[in-house]
A = this chain, B = another copy of it.
Amino acid sequence: MSQDATDAVLAAIRFDANGLVPAIAQQHDTGEVLMMAWMNAESVAETLATGRVCYYSRSRQALWRKGETSGQTQHLRDLRVDCDGDTLLLLVHQDGVACHTGRRNCFFLAVRDGALVEIAKPEVSPETLYGQPHHGHGHG
Contact = CB atoms under 8 A, between A and B. Distances in A.
Interface string A97-140: 00111010011111100111001000000000000000001110
Contacts of A1: 111
A74 interface: no
Interface residues of A, number: 44
Contacts of A99: 83
B101 A137 contact: no
A109 B87 contact: no
Interface of A: 1-2, 4-5, 8-9, 12, 22, 24, 26, 30-33, 35-36, 48, 78-84, 86-87, 89, 99-101, 103, 106-111, 114-116, 119, 137-139
